[in-house]
């Protein structure tokens, strides 16, 4: 009996030790990105709360929104306050919607611009470790999650040493600083857009059943607070062949079952000019963001 107890205790101690090591590794390799994310989140939250107006436009999504739309430019043309609340696709749909919901006021128009990979995710998360570390730093330990069982599972994942973390652990670490700029405009826009060599994307995602239900719930939450929800397709550096457009159109048709969708009907927002993009197929260059924001202004006018 005593031997069995000692064996069990040994396994428990080993498991706790392994979880602790995994947590430390995940924290180290996600720290820069999470710190950047927490910084822009807090700034955007404060900027949104400072605006006192009967109607606002809230631009919501991942980094395709943060680095892809200029709220100040849209505001200047539409003559009403516009806030860029774009964060990071890694948070997943659950967390992005939960954060946006807290900012909605009566009269607000919420424009959700989700990256395709967010919509395709089967369980509302993209990077569970990032979401948990982000939640811990902002003091919301169950961000985007109401199921206690899922909360426990996510907590355990912080200490899970996945394949990406293992690969990073075995590689030499750079001592230099990495990450995006945290400098924002008065409307939450990135002041410095990232640059780099971008590779063209292949469009092969569809809206998952989970995401569809989550988006329906988000619309109800927005409307319960007196707001209105609209979807938009982000610009994407991708193949614009007939198959890609058919997939993009299927995404539009699915979203349109929930709320209106704004997009260019000819291109379906699939762009093939690399000059419009920065370091990823969703991050825009200065030229791209200028054109994109001008287009969005015209698309939003009929909805106001």
Q: What residues contact residue 192 under an 8 Å CB cut-off, 6+ apart?
A: 180, 181, 183
Residue 125 vs residue 186, higher pLDDT: 186
Please give the mean pLDDT across all residues of the chain. 83
- Determine the pLDDT at residue 180: 87
Model confidence at 125, pLDDT cuts 50, 70, 90, reads low
Highest mean pLDDT range out of 3-7, 146-150, 163-167, 218-222? 218-222
> Is pLDDT of 34 > 70?
yes
d(CA 82, CA 111) in angstroms, rounded, equals: 10
> Is pLDDT of 152 > 70?
no
Model confidence at 145, pLDDT cuts 50, 70, 90, reads low
Residue 138 vs residue 191, higher pLDDT: 191
pTM: 0.82
What domains can you pick out in the chain, each with its CATH number? 2-171+184-303 (3.40.50.1110)
Q: What are the CA-CA distances from residue 197 to residues 32, 180, 283, 285 (Å)? A: 21, 16, 11, 11
**In 10 A of CB 294, how many CB atoms?**
13
pLDDT digits (tens, 9 = 90+) for 85-101: 999 998 999 999 999 99
- DSSP code of residue 174: P
Highest mean pLDDT range out of 163-167, 202-206, 256-260? 256-260
> Is pLDDT of 132 > 60?
yes
Residue 225 buriedness (CB in 10 A; 0-12 / 13-18 / 19+) = middle
Model confidence at 122, pLDDT cuts 50, 70, 90, reads confident
Q: What is the mean pLDDT of residues 98-116?
A: 97
> Is pLDDT of 117 > 90?
yes
pLDDT digits (tens, 9 = 90+) for 254-272: 999 999 999 999 999 999 9
- Determine the pLDDT at residue 177: 37
């Amino acid at each position: 009996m005593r031997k069995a107890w000692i064996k069990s205790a040994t396994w428990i101690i080993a498991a706790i030790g392994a979880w602790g090591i995994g947590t430390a590794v995940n924290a180290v390799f996600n720290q820069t990105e999470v710190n950047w994310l927490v910084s822009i989140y807090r700034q955007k939250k404060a900027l949104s709360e400072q605006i006192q107006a009967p109607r606002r436009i809230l631009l919501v999504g991942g980094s395709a929104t943060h680095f892809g739309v200029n709220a100040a430019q849209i505001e200047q043309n539409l003559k009403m306050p516009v806030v860029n609340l774009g964060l990071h696709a890694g948070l997943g749909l659950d967390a992005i919607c939960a954060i946006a919901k807290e900012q909605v006021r009566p009269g607000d128009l919420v424009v959700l611009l989700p990256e395709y990979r967010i919509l395709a995710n089967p369980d509302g998360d993209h990077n569970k470790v990032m979401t948990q570390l982000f939640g811990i730093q902002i003091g919301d330990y169950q961000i985007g999650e109401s199921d206690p069982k899922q909360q426990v599972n996510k907590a355990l994942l912080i200490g899970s040493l996945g394949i990406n973390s293992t690969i990073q652990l075995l590689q030499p670490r750079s001592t230099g600083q990495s990450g995006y700029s945290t400098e924002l405009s008065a409307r939450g826009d990135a002041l410095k857009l990232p640059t780099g060599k971008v590779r063209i994307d292949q469009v092969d995602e569809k809206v998952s059943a989970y995401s569809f239900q989550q988006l329906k719930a988000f619309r109800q939450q927005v409307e319960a607070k007196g707001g209105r929800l609209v979807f938009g397709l982000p610009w994407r550096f991708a193949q614009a062949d007939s198959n890609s457009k058919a997939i993009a159109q299927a995404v539009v048709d699915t979203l349109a079952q929930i709320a209106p969708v704004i997009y260019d009907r000819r291109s379906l927002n699939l762009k093939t000019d690399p000059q419009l993009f920065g370091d990823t197929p969703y991050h825009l260059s200065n030229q791209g963001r200028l054109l994109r924001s001008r287009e969005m202004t015209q698309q939003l006018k009929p909805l106001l």
